[in-house]
Amino acid sequence: MKFLIDDANIEKIKKIYEFYAIDGVTTNPSILAKAGKNPYDVLSEIRDFIGDKAELHAQVISLKAETMIKEAYKMTEILGRETFVKIPTIPEGLKAMKKLHAQGFKITATAIYTPMQAYLAAKAGADYVAPYVNRIDNLGANGVESVKLIQNIIENCDFSTKILAASFKNSNQVQELCAFGIGAVTVSPDVIENLIRNASVKEAEQDFIDDFEKLCGQGKTMLDI
Ligand code: G3P
């Protein structure tokens, strides 16, 4: 399962990359708005940092297929042809996906709230479908179960499309999909850090150090004895 960062803040991205094994970065217009700079400058800085091999996902803004396609050309010209163009899964978006897929673009179908949106996007040639786990939960449905259903649809309909689950707000949502095994998840830096934040681990590590120092002396490690 690929593991991506859902953020556009370059300092946060660098910090997460320093500690964790990461496969790329996803953004959306709201995430870019938080960065507060020209979106191409922000996305180019992310691309430069993560390199051509890592995945970068960036979203079109238009609601009309023809303009979405033009945006896809400009975005990939600037950010690299390997960039995943995120397209909202609305009828105009599906029209754009069909055309862009035929022209060899990498496509992430986004704003997915229902399994049948995912089916239609896969059928239109999307490489990834991005269901919004927590936003589905907030509608009174079950985000994790929706993703599992989408995975069944993809497997049973024999699509090569993968799932890029998004919109996580807690560790359990990520853990359940990790255990189930899907193509990818994209997670915000704060939720990533909470995946491993645990007072018991900190306490255990301090006990080990205290015991070692009692034996070998203050500040000693295996390097000093
Ligand atoms: O990138 C799309 C998705 O991650 C949105 O997440 O946190 O706005 O629900 P959120």
User: Which of the four pLDDT bands, split at 50, 70 and 90, describes residue 135?
Assistant: very high
Handedness of CA 168, 171, 176, 179 (dihedral sign): positive
Phi-psi region of 181 (alpha: psi -120 to 50; beta: other; left: phi over 0): left
pLDDT at 4: 98
Specify whether 142 is located in the same domain as 68: yes
| Residues 191 and 168: beta-carbon distance below 8 Å | yes
The reply to whether 106 and 134 lie within a common domain is yes
Helix (H) or strand (E) holding 35: helix 29-35
Distance (angstroms) between ligand 1 centre and the Cα of 51 equals 23
Question: Considering its fold, how many domains does the chain have in total?
Answer: 2
> What is the predicted pLDDT for the residue at 157?
98
163 shares a domain with 216 = no
Residues 170 and 202 in one domain: no
The residues, ordered by sequence, that sit 6+ positions from 163 with a Cβ below 8 Å of its Cβ are 118, 128, 129, 130, 131, 147, 150, 151, 154, 182, 183, 184
Pocket around ligand 1 at a 6 A CB cut-off: 6, 26, 28, 132, 134-135, 166-167
Q: Which residue lies with its CA nearest to atom 5 of ligand 1?
A: 167
**Structure-block tokens of residue 1:** 């399962």
CA 7 to chain centroid, in Å, comes to 9
The stretch 110-126 carries a mean pLDDT of 98
Distance 90 CA to ligand 1 centre (A): 17
**Which pLDDT belongs to residue 202?**
94
pTM of this prediction exceeds 0.85: yes
Domain co-membership, 44 together with 83: yes
- Return the pLDDT at 183: 97
pLDDT at 219: 97
Same domain, 19 and 116: yes
Query: What CATH number does residue 10 fall under?
Result: 3.20.20.70
Catalytic status, residue 86: yes
Domain ranges, residue 225: 195-225
Q: Give the mean pLDDT of the chain.
A: 98
Question: Quick one: 131 and 220 in the same domain?
Answer: no
Same domain, 103 and 184: yes
- State the average pLDDT over residues 46-68: 97
What dihedral angle (degrees, nearest 10) is formed by the CA atoms of 20, 21, 23, 26? -10
* pLDDT (0 to 100) of residue 206: 97
**Judgement on whether residues 24 and 114 belong to the same structural domain of the protein:** yes
Nearest CA to ligand 1 atom 1: 28
Confidence band for 46, pLDDT divided at 50, 70 and 90: very high
In tens, the pLDDT along 179-201 reads 999 999 999 999 999 999 999 99
In terms of domains, do 116 and 32 share one?
yes
Domain identity same for 219 and 183: no
Q: What is the pLDDT of residues 97-106, one digit of tens each?
A: 999 999 999 9
**pLDDT at 7 (0 to 100):** 98
3-state secondary structure 97-163: HHHHHHCCCEEEEEEECCHHHHHHHHHCCCCEEEEEHHHHHHCCCCHHHHHHHHHHHHHHCCCCCEE
For 154-184, the pLDDT digits (tens) are 999 999 999 999 999 999 999 999 999 999 9
Both 21 and 127 in one domain: the answer is: yes
CA distances to 87, 114, 128, 158 from 153, rounded to whole Å, are 20, 12, 13, 8
